[in-house]
Amino acid sequence: MLRLAARRFGAMILIMAVVSFILFLIFETDKLAVAGKVLGPYSSLEQRELWLEREGYNRPFLVRYGEWVTDALRGDFGESIRFKAPVADLLWPRLANSAILAGLVFLLMIPLSLLLGVLAGMREGSLLDRGLSFLSILTTSVPEFASAAFLVALFVFELRWLPGTSAMTGGFDWSQLVLPVAVLVLYDFGYVARMTRASMAEVMTSHYIRTAILKGLPRHRVVLRHALRNALIAPFTVIVLQLNWLLSGVIVVEVFFAYKGFGALLYDAAMFGDIYLIEACTMVAVFVAVFSQFVSDVGYTLLNPRIRFAGSTVR
């Protein structure tokens, strides 16, 4: 068990190292282009070379990479070209904003999708089951920007209940969070609900559920004690891995609603060519994705006694 966690942790570190190297390779091999970005398109060649020399860019590639990594590990990602401020100072508040968004999404999505999925899976083929099945296909078919367009048309233009942007220029405002959260929940809940349903339906037809029923246990006990725990293992990993998908959705939603989050920062950086900011944002995004993979692997093992106690047999 510990060995497995350690190995997964090792894999995570290795992935992060390789990703960072690839990013550095992609963005900083062409030194003159970097200087051009920093000094602006009208800088002369001499200015650029002077800048490269001063910033230590003429040292060997691997040395520069090593220095970049050590700085990054200390939380120093360099200075944003566009905002003329340390990347770290830009990054953390934006991350906090996105965390609020993602946290609310999870808070709503998890109970909703688990509840619907379990109820539908318990009665395969029932009206609820077919209804949920169709609803989730429908909602997962509408991309975030499209459902944002629908919701804005309805709640902003037609009903005028909610603001159409979430820039929060006048301070924190809950009402500005409603639409972004709704868009993300709509797109994501269907997938988790369907996984839960499938898992629950499979468990309910398993032989050990038959054993439990034929033991004469009351139905609520069969469902709560025997079915639920086994049925929730698969959705757990799906939910954790959903973080990876959510990050993609967050970018779209933040751009659509002009919400000052991490996704919008990455997008702006990419559109502007703000190299150091792109590098930092990408590393953070990859870290979140890889870490969620790690949590999901370890959690799966913890939830599944067959893996947790693999090898220890009573003989």
79, β-bridge pairs: 86
86, β-bridge pairs: 79
Shortest Cβ distance from residue 46 to other proteins (Å)? 27
Alpha carbons 298 and 4: distance in angstroms, whole number? 8
Shortest Cβ distance from residue 53 to other proteins (Å)? 26
Task: Determine contact, residues 62/225, Cβ cutoff 8 Å.
Answer: no
Shortest Cβ distance from residue 151 to other proteins (Å)? 10
Shortest Cβ distance from residue 176 to other proteins (Å)? 16
CA–CA distances in Å: residue 191 to residues 22, 201, 202, 230: 32, 15, 17, 19
Spatial CA neighbour of 97 closest among 245, 239, 254 = 254
CA triple 73-255-103, angle to 5 deg: 60
Shortest Cβ distance from residue 239 to other proteins (Å)? 16
Task: Determine contact, residues 171/215, Cβ cutoff 8 Å.
Answer: no
Name the residue nearer to other proteins (CB basis): 76 or 268. Answer: 268
Tell me which amino acid residue 201 is. A
Q: DSSP character for 166?
A: -
Task: Determine contact, residues 222/210, Cβ cutoff 8 Å.
Answer: no
Spatial CA neighbour of 248 closest among 97, 149, 144, 146 = 144
Shortest Cβ distance from residue 54 to other proteins (Å)? 26
Name the residue nearer to other proteins (CB basis): 33 or 88. Answer: 33
Task: Determine contact, residues 292/199, Cβ cutoff 8 Å.
Answer: no
Shortest Cβ distance from residue 143 to other proteins (Å)? 4
Task: Mark out the alpha helices in 41-174 (DSSP H runs).
Answer: 45-54, 61-73, 87-122, 127-141, 144-151
CA triple 136-139-145, angle to 5 deg: 160
Name the residue nearer to other proteins (CB basis): 15 or 88. Answer: 15
Name the residue nearer to other proteins (CB basis): 59 or 215. Answer: 215
Query: What torsion, rounded to 10 degrees, do the Cα atoms 114, 118, 120, 121 define?
Result: 130
Name the residue nearer to other proteins (CB basis): 141 or 175. Answer: 141
Shortest Cβ distance from residue 84 to other proteins (Å)? 21
Name the residue nearer to other proteins (CB basis): 47 or 163. Answer: 163
Spatial CA neighbour of 32 closest among 53, 17, 16, 15 = 53
Name the residue nearer to other proteins (CB basis): 15 or 52. Answer: 15
Name the residue nearer to other proteins (CB basis): 108 or 213. Answer: 213
